[in-house]
Amino acid sequence: MLLPIEYGKKSKALSMENVVEWLKNNGGLKVIDEPLDVELEIPHIAYLEVKKGEESRPLLFTKPIYADKGIEYDMPVLMNIFANKELTRKIMGRDPDELGEGIEALMKFKPPVTFREKLSMIPRLFALKKIFPKRSGERGACQEIVIEKSDVDLDRLPILRTWPEDGGRFITMGQVYTISLDGSMQNLGMYRLQQYDKKRLGMHWQIHKDASHFFDQYREAGKKMPVSVAIGGDPLYIWCGQAPMPHGVFELLLYGYIRNTNARLVKSLSNDIYIPSDVDIVIEGFVDPREMEMEGPFGDHTGYYTLPELFPVMEVEKITMKAKPVFSATVVGKPPLEDKYMGWATERIFLPLLKPMAPELIDYNMPENGVFHNLILAKMAVRYKGHARQFMHAFWGVGQMSFVKHAIFVGEDAPKLDDYEALGRYILDRLDKERIVISDGIVDQLDHASPTMLVGGKLGIDATGAKVEKSDGRYLDDADLLAKMREIDTSIVALKQYFQESANPVTVVAVRKRENQKALIGRLSVLAEYLRVLIVVDAADNDLENPYMLVWRVVNNIDAQRDVLLEPFIAIDASNKNELDGYTREWPADTLCDEKILESLAERGVIDISEEMKMDFGLTHFDKYPK
């Protein structure tokens, strides 16, 4: 078959006219009737819920309030829609791997030759017709209520403030629809939008996004740019908004492919942008290229705040909505998050699109605690010397893969890429300084570790070869090795060794930083016989017994050109950077929950939280080591 679908049948997940009912029946939706504040309370509850892994459930808050302004909303807030892997499969309608196989089949399509082949192609061609969105000349369900500009008041929407240090309230699950200046291309992106006042929103589209490219066109032409922001509707719209489609390809083509039915679009009432007819809310407006305003700070999906920066401003012209709309939102911060499951689906579906660039690619994995763009693990069939290096440069040179900071390549005999214990041992048994590549290139605009915005270090590891010989070096237990280190420098307050049976054991130390850590690493060279890979982290807010969050911290905090040393042993400085390191940018703070909010929610019986959970996921500040 050309496509892994049942021709003429809609996806089982398509019946989402009432998403809330669908989630009750298919996702174990948890309904919370307690009055809760859109500022911190609702986001904190959703943030804790997604930490429950496969037990995580979608949440419906039926009585949101905005206590600071005395507003009680009759519009419920829906969060954690992509709550777990099984629910994500149901939303997609089938397993993402199966959808990826269908894309691969499309890419290998060959025109029919015989009459029989031509006949068998007919149902497949009809199925392809369903990929393309259909435009309607009528109004949609999303336009049952119309609020004109004079009556627009964004305070009347239950927009969330998710973190204590956020610059304001942010729409976090907005589907941002834009069109190119000549009208030939339409784009759907998922960007945060800061509410400035009753009628204006900040447009946080990063420079590499299609919407930003469209904005440049309008700015050069001196024209205002139309924008329509949709909220709610089929959750698949949300996923399509974050899918890394090639430039100029409308993301809702994916909707048609996955659902096996055309996306039904209606025209916005105040501009020429078409949006899905069944979304809950549409915010229409224009961006004046001459107007920029400071946006942020915002607690982002990196687990750090992104700092204030100038971004375009949208002036709201009109708001339309269903008669009984539901406000969809998400919360981002430290992993795991809802985007873990969205990213998993993206990873599986888009694997075939990477293979033409790298035909020997077998599989890849972007762990959520690597914040996706900070770490990629890839399995490949090695055909010749230097093949893995070729892959590194190919990955760093194409599309959104170019933002990946750290890439590790393993051979086809490697364990599953999500079996992190076995995979870690495999990599360390093949880790060789001569097969480590340190380079530089473009990095994500959200990356805070690089010395300058947008350009920073890249690290590539070729672990595809044979095992390296295990060193004759000596081994000490944690307590004895820590004692030896503290004889050299008392700023080291804790130590933990991992994979001691491998060819390259990893030693992680926690420090009370008082100098550039290269000086410390240099002094520890006298202990080289005990060290193969040394990682330095700050003592505060790190638990050396928690490898999941250590990976998150390390890949966030390092710039490979500055922070990775290869002699006398491999050393990585993952401490927070400051003037001691020649770092001149402002280092952002971690996203931390408000402890008073957590206490209040626990006292009211809305959440159940332990001190252990707080530390496991870095929910609040902690410091477990000696001063």
Catalytic annotation, pick one of 37, 166, 278, 300: 300
DSSP state letter for 449: S
In angstroms, the CA 80 to CA 57 distance is: 7
In angstroms, the CA 381 to CA 175 distance is: 39
DSSP state letter for 313: E
- The Cβ-side half-sphere exposure at 364, using a 13 Å CA radius, reads 30
Using DSSP's 3-state secondary structure scheme, residue 154 falls into helix
Q: What angle do CA 413, 414, 419 make, to 5 degrees?
A: 145
Strand order from edge to edge, sheet including 36-37: 36-37, 64-66, 71-72
In angstroms, the CA 410 to CA 59 distance is: 39
Buried (b) or exposed (e) across 325-361, using 16+ Cβ within 10 A?
A: bbbbbbbbbbbbbbbbbbbbbbbbbbbbbbeeebebb
Tokens found for residue 105: 């089949």
DSSP state letter for 10: -
Coarse DSSP helix, strand, coil percentages of the chain, rounded to the nearest 5 percent? 30, 25, 45
Determine how many CB atoms are found less than 10 A away from the CB of residue 479: 8
Q: What is the dihedral of CA 116, 119, 125, 127, to 10 degrees?
A: -110
DSSP state letter for 368: G
Pairing of strands 327-329, 77-79: parallel
Instruction: Quote the radius of gyration of the chain (alpha carbons, Å).
Output: 25
Work out the angle between the directed axes of helices 96-107 and 252-259 (0-180°, nearest 10): 110
* DSSP track, 244-289: -PPTT--THHHHHHHHTSPPEEEE-SSSS-EEETT-SEEEEEEEEE
**CB neighbour list of residue 404: distance below 8 Å, 6 or more residues apart:** 373, 374, 375, 376, 395, 396, 458
In angstroms, the CA 195 to CA 168 distance is: 7
The partner residues of 498 in beta bridges, in order of sequence, read 506
Respond yes or no: is residue 234 known to be catalytic.
no
Buried (b) or exposed (e) across 492-527, using 16+ Cβ within 10 A?
A: bbbbbbbbeebbbbbbbbbbebeebbbebbeebeeb
From the list 476, 471, 402, the residue with the least C-alpha distance to 433 is: 471
In angstroms, the CA 570 to CA 79 distance is: 43
Tokens found for residue 562: 């500055």
In angstroms, the CA 59 to CA 377 distance is: 32
In angstroms, the CA 277 to CA 255 distance is: 14
From the list 236, 557, 240, 607, the residue with the least C-alpha distance to 405 is: 557
Residues designated as active site: 300
